Amino acid sequence: MAIDEPGGPTKRDFLYLVTAMAGAVGVGAASWPFIDQMRPDASTLAMASIEVDVSSLAEGMSLTVKWRGRPVFIRNRTQQEIEAAKATALDDLKDPFARNANLSDDQPATDVARSAGEAKENWIVMIGVCTHLGCVPLGQAGDFGGWFCPCHGSHYDTAGRVRKGPAPENLAIPRFEFVSETVVRIG
Protein backbone atom coordinates (compact mmCIF):
# COMPACT_ATOMS: atom_id res chain seq x y z
CA MET A 1 0.00 0.00 0.00
CA ALA A 2 1.37 3.41 -0.86
CA ILE A 3 1.16 6.47 1.33
CA ASP A 4 -2.03 8.49 0.90
CA GLU A 5 -3.95 5.64 -0.71
CA PRO A 6 -7.49 5.48 0.59
CA GLY A 7 -7.55 3.43 3.82
CA GLY A 8 -3.71 3.32 4.02
CA PRO A 9 -1.18 5.25 6.06
CA THR A 10 -0.95 8.96 5.47
CA LYS A 11 1.94 11.41 5.52
CA ARG A 12 0.58 12.58 8.82
CA ASP A 13 0.85 9.02 10.29
CA PHE A 14 4.44 8.87 9.10
CA LEU A 15 5.23 12.22 10.71
CA TYR A 16 3.64 11.10 14.02
CA LEU A 17 5.75 7.94 13.99
CA VAL A 18 9.00 9.79 13.23
CA THR A 19 8.23 12.44 15.87
CA ALA A 20 7.48 9.76 18.51
CA MET A 21 10.72 7.93 17.73
CA ALA A 22 12.73 11.16 17.90
CA GLY A 23 11.05 12.00 21.22
CA ALA A 24 11.90 8.56 22.66
CA VAL A 25 15.54 8.93 21.62
CA GLY A 26 15.62 12.45 23.14
CA VAL A 27 14.13 11.27 26.45
CA GLY A 28 16.63 8.40 26.58
CA ALA A 29 19.55 10.73 25.85
CA ALA A 30 18.38 13.26 28.43
CA SER A 31 17.82 10.65 31.16
CA TRP A 32 21.09 8.72 30.63
CA PRO A 33 23.22 11.00 32.87
CA PHE A 34 20.76 10.47 35.73
CA ILE A 35 20.79 6.70 35.29
CA ASP A 36 24.56 6.55 34.83
CA GLN A 37 25.27 8.46 38.05
CA MET A 38 23.56 5.70 40.07
CA ARG A 39 26.35 3.22 39.26
CA PRO A 40 29.04 2.79 41.93
CA ASP A 41 32.16 4.85 41.30
CA ALA A 42 35.62 3.39 40.79
CA SER A 43 36.66 3.76 44.44
CA THR A 44 33.66 1.72 45.56
CA LEU A 45 34.31 -0.98 42.98
CA ALA A 46 37.95 -1.11 44.03
CA MET A 47 36.88 -1.87 47.59
CA ALA A 48 34.63 -4.74 46.51
CA SER A 49 37.43 -7.08 47.55
CA ILE A 50 40.75 -6.59 49.27
CA GLU A 51 43.76 -8.82 49.79
CA VAL A 52 45.51 -8.77 53.15
CA ASP A 53 48.95 -10.21 53.89
CA VAL A 54 48.71 -11.93 57.27
CA SER A 55 52.28 -13.30 57.34
CA SER A 56 53.23 -10.95 60.17
CA LEU A 57 50.41 -12.15 62.48
CA ALA A 58 51.92 -14.54 65.01
CA GLU A 59 49.69 -16.83 67.03
CA GLY A 60 47.50 -14.76 69.36
CA MET A 61 47.76 -11.56 67.31
CA SER A 62 44.98 -9.62 65.60
CA LEU A 63 44.75 -7.18 62.74
CA THR A 64 41.95 -4.77 61.87
CA VAL A 65 41.51 -3.73 58.24
CA LYS A 66 38.90 -1.55 56.59
CA TRP A 67 36.66 -3.16 53.97
CA ARG A 68 33.62 -1.43 52.44
CA GLY A 69 33.87 1.23 55.11
CA ARG A 70 33.67 -1.24 58.00
CA PRO A 71 36.34 -2.73 60.25
CA VAL A 72 37.20 -6.39 59.71
CA PHE A 73 38.94 -8.33 62.47
CA ILE A 74 41.49 -10.94 61.38
CA ARG A 75 42.86 -13.06 64.21
CA ASN A 76 45.39 -15.87 64.37
CA ARG A 77 43.94 -17.66 67.38
CA THR A 78 45.93 -19.62 69.91
CA GLN A 79 45.26 -23.30 70.54
CA GLN A 80 43.74 -22.35 73.92
CA GLU A 81 41.27 -19.97 72.21
CA ILE A 82 40.29 -22.69 69.73
CA GLU A 83 39.79 -25.24 72.52
CA ALA A 84 37.71 -22.75 74.54
CA ALA A 85 35.48 -22.13 71.51
CA LYS A 86 35.12 -25.86 70.80
CA ALA A 87 34.23 -26.57 74.44
CA THR A 88 31.22 -24.25 74.29
CA ALA A 89 27.94 -26.17 73.99
CA LEU A 90 25.79 -24.91 71.12
CA ASP A 91 22.82 -24.81 73.52
CA ASP A 92 24.65 -22.10 75.51
CA LEU A 93 24.71 -19.71 72.54
CA LYS A 94 22.26 -16.84 72.09
CA ASP A 95 22.54 -17.18 68.29
CA PRO A 96 22.77 -20.78 67.04
CA PHE A 97 23.71 -19.86 63.44
CA ALA A 98 27.23 -19.44 62.05
CA ARG A 99 26.45 -16.16 60.17
CA ASN A 100 29.22 -17.13 57.75
CA ALA A 101 28.72 -15.83 54.19
CA ASN A 102 30.90 -18.71 52.96
CA LEU A 103 28.41 -21.32 54.23
CA SER A 104 24.67 -21.95 54.01
CA ASP A 105 22.42 -19.81 56.23
CA ASP A 106 21.31 -22.71 58.43
CA GLN A 107 24.86 -23.81 59.37
CA PRO A 108 25.23 -24.17 63.17
CA ALA A 109 27.66 -21.86 64.99
CA THR A 110 30.36 -24.45 65.64
CA ASP A 111 33.93 -23.24 65.98
CA VAL A 112 34.90 -24.72 62.59
CA ALA A 113 31.91 -23.04 60.89
CA ARG A 114 33.03 -19.69 62.28
CA SER A 115 36.70 -20.11 61.33
CA ALA A 116 38.55 -20.43 58.02
CA GLY A 117 37.82 -24.16 58.01
CA GLU A 118 39.38 -27.29 59.45
CA ALA A 119 42.75 -26.78 57.74
CA LYS A 120 43.04 -23.19 59.01
CA GLU A 121 40.89 -23.30 62.12
CA ASN A 122 43.25 -20.89 63.88
CA TRP A 123 42.20 -18.07 61.52
CA ILE A 124 39.02 -16.12 62.09
CA VAL A 125 37.85 -13.23 59.90
CA MET A 126 34.83 -11.20 61.06
CA ILE A 127 33.15 -7.88 60.40
CA GLY A 128 34.00 -5.88 63.51
CA VAL A 129 30.61 -4.29 64.07
CA CYS A 130 28.51 -5.15 67.12
CA THR A 131 25.17 -6.59 66.06
CA HIS A 132 23.31 -4.59 68.69
CA LEU A 133 23.79 -0.97 67.61
CA GLY A 134 26.81 -1.02 65.31
CA CYS A 135 29.60 -0.15 67.75
CA VAL A 136 33.12 -1.55 67.29
CA PRO A 137 33.94 -4.16 69.97
CA LEU A 138 37.31 -4.31 71.74
CA GLY A 139 39.44 -7.38 71.03
CA GLN A 140 40.71 -9.88 73.59
CA ALA A 141 38.31 -8.53 76.16
CA GLY A 142 35.09 -9.46 77.92
CA ASP A 143 33.98 -12.44 79.97
CA PHE A 144 34.82 -14.99 77.27
CA GLY A 145 38.22 -13.74 76.08
CA GLY A 146 36.98 -12.73 72.65
CA TRP A 147 35.47 -9.30 72.00
CA PHE A 148 33.60 -6.88 74.23
CA CYS A 149 31.38 -3.99 73.19
CA PRO A 150 31.67 -1.44 76.01
CA CYS A 151 28.76 0.67 74.75
CA HIS A 152 26.03 -1.71 75.90
CA GLY A 153 27.88 -4.69 77.35
CA SER A 154 27.78 -7.39 74.67
CA HIS A 155 30.35 -10.16 75.11
CA TYR A 156 31.60 -12.36 72.26
CA ASP A 157 33.70 -15.50 72.64
CA THR A 158 36.93 -16.42 70.82
CA ALA A 159 34.88 -17.51 67.77
CA GLY A 160 32.96 -14.19 67.63
CA ARG A 161 29.71 -15.72 68.92
CA VAL A 162 27.55 -13.54 71.14
CA ARG A 163 27.38 -15.01 74.63
CA LYS A 164 26.06 -12.24 76.84
CA GLY A 165 24.48 -8.80 76.52
CA PRO A 166 21.90 -7.21 74.21
CA ALA A 167 23.49 -8.18 70.86
CA PRO A 168 21.06 -10.48 69.02
CA GLU A 169 23.47 -12.16 66.57
CA ASN A 170 27.03 -13.42 66.23
CA LEU A 171 29.57 -11.16 64.52
CA ALA A 172 29.12 -11.61 60.77
CA ILE A 173 31.74 -13.36 58.69
CA PRO A 174 32.24 -11.91 55.19
CA ARG A 175 33.09 -13.91 52.09
CA PHE A 176 36.79 -14.64 52.26
CA GLU A 177 39.36 -17.13 51.10
CA PHE A 178 43.06 -17.74 51.47
CA VAL A 179 44.61 -17.16 48.04
CA SER A 180 47.97 -18.31 49.39
CA GLU A 181 49.32 -19.45 52.73
CA THR A 182 49.70 -15.86 53.92
CA VAL A 183 47.22 -13.78 51.88
CA VAL A 184 43.48 -13.66 52.55
CA ARG A 185 41.04 -12.12 50.05
CA ILE A 186 37.98 -10.52 51.64
CA GLY A 187 34.95 -9.90 49.44
Torsion of CA 119, 129, 56, 159, to 10 degrees: -30
Q: Which of 164, 121, 157, 165 minimizes the C-alpha distance to 141?
A: 157
> Three-state DSSP class for 68?
coil
Residue 158's Cβ-count burial label (10 Å; 0-12, 13-18, 19+) is buried
Known catalytic residues are: 152
